[in-house]
Amino acid sequence: MKYWSFATTERSDELDLRIDQAAGTVSNMNDLRTGQLLNALIEADRERRFIDRSKLVIVERDPRHLEEIMAKLLPELCPRHIVTVQNHHLPHYVVRDGKITTYHNLDAESPVVKVISRTKHPDSTAEKTPRKTVVYGRLCERHNRHKLMVGDVNGIEGVVKEEKDIEKLVDRIIAIPFLRLEHLERHRKSNGYTSTHLNMIYENGNPIMRGLEVEIQVTDLASHNASKYKPEQGHETAYGKEKLASKRDLRGRQLIIVGNSVQIPRHVQIIETNVARIAKVPNPIQPYTLVALRE
């Protein structure tokens, strides 16, 4: 686990203590970006003191990261496409934004029907992170101890015409030079849903994005239509209720989600500083701190 040090001036003993306690921070970003985020958070903390005296779990949720990846991925999968956008279908408790973008392939000869992308909603991240901590017994990703366990902050789904086309698209994605395969799982559920999940590492682009993880699911059109983006897949189903009833534990750490695009409702108290807008979100599943850094 990385230990961070900060070259700042005129720090109080209390701020020194807070910085020391930020050592061992778990983040979904690389070392460079995590250091930048920590510096910004501690600078904002000087003014309003919102960081708890515990180690931190930082999730940067920036749709621009996914947009950069999609700009390079779409020419590989469906260069001719039209775009539609819809809201997240699952209920979210306090923060009311989140978009799902669908790129419909116009090439009738291609096995790819469409490609869908979304940045994980803050409330969903707050639900999943402590749940996966219990499942795996630790906060770090199972294949890389320096990374946050929740690897689907940036999520993409590729939908192909038939089940036999799934492996063709999987092979094409694995061969893309700016993506590196970290983990692959194949799923076949009792209801007939078939998919392959690829955890890919982004190995190109601007330095703060190097090593960023993106989850790509590949499924066929029949499975997609039967199982995806339907109201019956929401939190009120048996599956949803089982997930929401699961045990959660952040090991006494503070979860901070950084996201400039998030719209914070008026009834959530907002703290303003020179470098950030901060809200303590009373999510019924897992409270968290939402920080919008100023550009």
Note the pLDDT tens digit of each residue in 18-67: 555 456 789 999 889 998 999 999 999 998 899 887 789 999 999 999 99
Residue carrying structure tokens 């500083």: 273
* Inside any domain, residue 145: yes
Axis-axis angle for helices 63-77, 166-174 (nearest 10): 110
- Examine the domain organization and report whether 82 and 47 are in the same domain: no
pLDDT for the residue numbered 45: 92
Any domain includes 1: no
At 214, give phi and psi (nearest 5°): -135, 135
Residue 221 lies in a domain: yes
Give the angle 171-173-174 at the CA atoms, nearest 5°: 65
Whether 212 shows a pLDDT value over 80: the answer reads yes
Return the pLDDT at 92: 76
Q: Indicate if 85 and 182 belong to the same structural domain.
A: yes
CA distance 111 to 108: 8
* Per-residue pLDDT, 192: 66
Looking at residue 158, its pLDDT comes to 97
C-beta separation of 210 from 202 below 8 A: yes
Whether 173 and 50 map to the same domain: the answer is no
Claim to verify: residue 84 and residue 229 sit in the same structural domain = yes
Is there a single domain that holds both residue 44 and residue 76?
no
Classify residue 4: in a domain, yes or no. Answer: no
Q: For the chain, how many structural domains are there in total?
A: 2
Total-model pTM: 0.86
Of residues 262 and 138, more confidence is placed in 138
The per-residue pLDDT for range 261-293, each reduced to its tens digit, is 777 777 788 899 999 999 999 988 889 999 999
Residue 160, domain member (yes or no): yes
Asked whether residue 235 carries a pLDDT value surpassing 80, the answer given is no
pLDDT in tens, 53-89: 778 999 999 999 999 999 999 999 999 999 999 887 7
Among 203, 228, 244, give the residue marking a domain's end: 244
- Asked if residue 82 and residue 195 are part of one domain, the reply reads yes
Residue 3 placed within a domain: no
- Whether the per-residue pLDDT at 98 is higher than 90: the answer is no
- How far apart CA 211 and CA 27 sit, in angstroms, is 12
Residue 199 domain-assigned (yes or no): yes
| Mean pLDDT, residues 251-267 | 83
Clarify whether residues 217 and 191 are in a common domain: yes
CATH code of the domain in which 136 resides? 3.30.460.10
101 and 194 in a single domain? The answer is yes
- Sheet containing 179-188: order of strands: 81-87, 99-105, 112-119, 154-160, 212-220, 194-202, 179-188
Report pLDDT for 163: 92
What pLDDT, on the 0 to 100 scale, is given for residue 14?
52
Domain annotation covers residue 42:
yes
- Residue at token pair 């339907």: 230
pLDDT at site 17: 47
Q: Are residues 30 and 116 in the same domain?
A: no
Which pLDDT value is given to residue 77?
A: 96
Higher pLDDT, 289 or 251: 289
Boundaries of domain holding 165: 63-244
User: Do 87 and 187 fall within a single domain?
Assistant: yes
Which domain-ending residue is among 203, 221, 244? 244
Average pLDDT, the chain: 84
Domain end residue (candidates: 227, 244, 261): 244
Same domain, residue pair 253 and 149: no
User: 204 and 126, same structural domain?
Assistant: yes
